[in-house]
Chain A
Amino acid sequence: MNTTNSLPVSSVPSGGENIRATIGQLSRRPEAGSLLGLIAVFVFFAMIGGSVFLSSAGYASWLNIAAEIGLVALPVGLLMIAGEMDLSIGAIIPAASLTVAIISGHYGLPESVGISAGLGVGLLVGFFNGFIVNRTGVPSLIVTIGSMFGVMGLTLGFTVLIAGSTGVSLVPSPTAKAVLGEFIGGMFQVTIFWWVLFVAGFFYLLHISPVGNWIFALGGDKVSARNAGIPTERLTVGLYMLSGFSAAFVGVSQVFVYQSAQVLAGQSFIFNSIMCVVIGGVLLTGGAGSVVGIVFGTLTFAIVNQGVYFTGIDPNLGSVIIGALLLLAVMMNDRFRLMAMSYAAKKKR
């Protein structure tokens, strides 16, 4: 009896150790919390929203939203990991849209010129942000609020001056429409594929290339990062230009999707992108986060944002859910971060 008993008894703790080790491994990934949130939100709306939410039209509705915000949330997330903020994206999106619409729609120049100019606007504003943040040391929140208002005013002024109204329309050529503004199967925006491409690129940058390490270090401790020989100023400018470029890309693709550009089209992106990033487990003060987490956060946000329409819930309550979700997500992510820190210490005992 004794010998037969001792076998299973001795194997139980080692099995438990393994499971705990695996959970520990998972929990120290920064996206652990956001994955749970995503699953919870998806299950919730799949149960209440029913078959319409789970149909391809349902998927399309939130994937389209996710793709557009996601394109901006990625660089905003990287900046946040590096300890900076970027609110100017809200102004870059319409600025880029209108640049394309005015150059190619109003003046009728080739679309390639319009698109390059639109993306160029984003890069330029990004460079300006990074340069000013480095040079003045003013918190980037303030710098980018300033550039947001500046760019918004200039966009409005020039649009009214040139086109005489606050909206400009554009009839896209078939090629441009196919690349940037197509609805696949009549409902899935081609932007979704661009988003996937951007996700792959950002994943490489943050988690595979050595530059990713610099971004984490910059957000973790700027002075130590500089002492370690990281070109912190160039990195900051580069990240802001990346953010400007991505926002401009969204603006440009919007012109080809909606065939017109509006001055006030980008405002919702400012807070939405920050929310996606924070729900995705990026630390607001910098130094921690992951691209996969940002993707989960974006999907979670988009599902809640659109899922409400598939239920009998008053759409205005959707905002309440998003607000509560944000708070919950941050609390949960903090919890997971603590677990990640203490995980290996516990293993030792």
Chain B
Amino acid sequence: MSDKTPILELQNVDKSFGPIDVLHNISLKVRAGEVLCLLGDNGAGKSTLIKTLAGVHKPTRGTILMDGQPVEFSGPRDAQEKGISTVHQFGGTFPLMSIGRSFFVGVEPTKGWGPFKVYDRKTANEIAVKAVQDFGITRIDDGDRLVGGLSGGERQSLAIARAVHFGARVLILDEPTAALGVKQAAHVLRIVNEAKRRGLAVVFITHQVMHAMAVGDHFAVLIRGAIAADFRRGEKTREEITDLMAGGETMADLEAQIETYMASHEGHPPPPAQ
């Protein structure tokens, strides 16, 4: 598996905004049928990294390779056309639109000719429902339903199914499980597995270690804009990863600190760090 050329690769990428270095010497690879989990606390540079992958930002230094060839994205549209699709939390779905309309927004199927093109509701609904059901969401069977009536997990699944349907090869999922309950999150994780099975390269951004461990093949922990650890499935335990994300300070140490503080301060927890 590791001898396959990665679909998307970053080599020594730096990104700075003026004098501020946000990303520092980032090297990453993601192959077809593989899930790369990007873990990191808030402010670790995850969103800048996503935006660099998705063509919003250009790297200050370093190269991006697709299928082994260096590429430069002129913008998010360009990256999208090259097969990199970013799905934000509820991105690409419109609560007050029907599933069919939402699915095909911007690329509506039409019938008729010349200036009398007519939005083909039936075809749109059929394709949209089928695409979502193929991902195992059988509860969605009516393309006229409003997206706002779906659960968070279903909306996320709809957005992922949409990206895959329109030819994504690399799927960037930005905190897809962050606002979801346990069941809903499991839903989305199943979808991620299905995308992987279909041979997509998935970049899964999260700060929930459990979710990452459920689907990830490869993990990268981001701290202050640099990759602090890079390991494969099974090489580290959940506690080790959580500690890494907290910046090297182990959770056990933190707990001990808090306990001693509370003991000496009449049971009050310590004030938040400045």
Interface residues of A (CB under 8 A from B): 28, 208-210, 212-214, 216-217, 220-221, 223-225, 227-230, 283, 287-288, 337, 340-345, 348
Contacts and interface: CB of A to CB of B under 8 A. Distances in A.
Contacts of A216: 94, 96-97, 101
A344 B97 contact: no
Interface stretch (B102-110, B176-184, B254-262): B102-110
Contacts of B144: 28
Interface in B101-128: 101-102, 104-108, 110, 117-119
A343 B144 CA distance: 11
A344 B119 CA distance: 23
Contact of B149 (A223, A228, A229, A343): A343
A156 B16 CA distance: 54
Contacts of B106: 214, 217, 225, 228-230
Interface string B145-173: 11011000000000000000000000000
A212 B97 CA distance: 11
Contacts of A214: 105-106
Nearest to B97: A216
Given A213-B119, A229-B106, A344 B142 contact: yes
Nearest to A217: B105
Interface of B: 76-77, 80, 91-97, 101-102, 104-108, 110, 117-119, 139, 142, 144-146, 148-149
Nearest to A346: B149
B74 to A, nearest CB: 15
B92 A210 contact: no
Given A288-B96, A341-B146, A341-B149, A230 B105 contact: yes
Nearest to A221: B94
A210 B119 contact: yes
A209 B117 contact: yes
Nearest to B100: A213
Contacts of A224: 91-94, 105
Given A220-B95, A220-B96, A208 B149 contact: no
Contacts of A209: 117-119
Contacts of A345: 149
Given A217-B97, A229-B107, A287-B95, 6 more contacts: A208-B118, A216-B96, A217-B94, A217-B105, A224-B94, A340-B146
B119 A208 contact: yes
A224 B107 CA distance: 13
B101 A344 contact: no
9 contacts: A224-B94, A225-B106, A228-B92, A230-B105, A287-B96, A341-B146, A343-B149, A344-B149, A348-B139
A341 B118 CA distance: 26
Contact of B105 (A228, A288, A343): A228
A234 to B, nearest CB: 13
Contacts of B142: 344
Contacts of A223: 91
Contacts of A343: 145, 149
What are the 4 tightest A-B residue pairs by CB atom distance, in nearest-first order? A220-B94, A228-B106, A210-B108, A341-B149
Contact of B101 (A213, A227, A230, A348): A213
A212 B142 CA distance: 21
Contacts of A337: 96
A248 B101 CA distance: 33
Query: For A28, A230, A344, which residue has the most chain B Cβ atoms within 10 angstroms?
Result: A344
Contacts of B92: 224, 227-228
A237 to B, nearest CB: 18
B77 A229 contact: yes
Contacts of A341: 95, 146, 148-149
A342 B146 CA distance: 9
Contacts of B96: 216, 220, 283, 287-288, 337
B76 A227 contact: yes
A340 B95 CA distance: 11
Nearest to A342: B149
A213 B108 contact: yes
A208 B112 CA distance: 11
A238 to B, nearest CB: 15
Nearest to A345: B149
Q: Specify which of B77, B96, B102, B106 lies most central, judged by the most chain A CB atoms within 10 Å of its CB.
A: B96
Nearest to B140: A344
Nearest to A231: B106
A209 to B, nearest CB: 6
Contacts of A220: 94-97
Contacts of B117: 209-210
Contacts of A344: 142, 145-146, 149
Contacts of A340: 146, 149
Contacts of B104: 213
A222 B269 CA distance: 43
A325 B7 CA distance: 59
Contacts of A287: 94-97
A340 B105 CA distance: 20
A2 to B, nearest CB: 36
Nearest to A287: B96
A328 B101 CA distance: 30
Contacts of B110: 210
B135 to A, nearest CB: 18
Contacts of B102: 217
Nearest to B81: A229
A164 B108 CA distance: 54
A118 B95 CA distance: 40
A106 B26 CA distance: 73
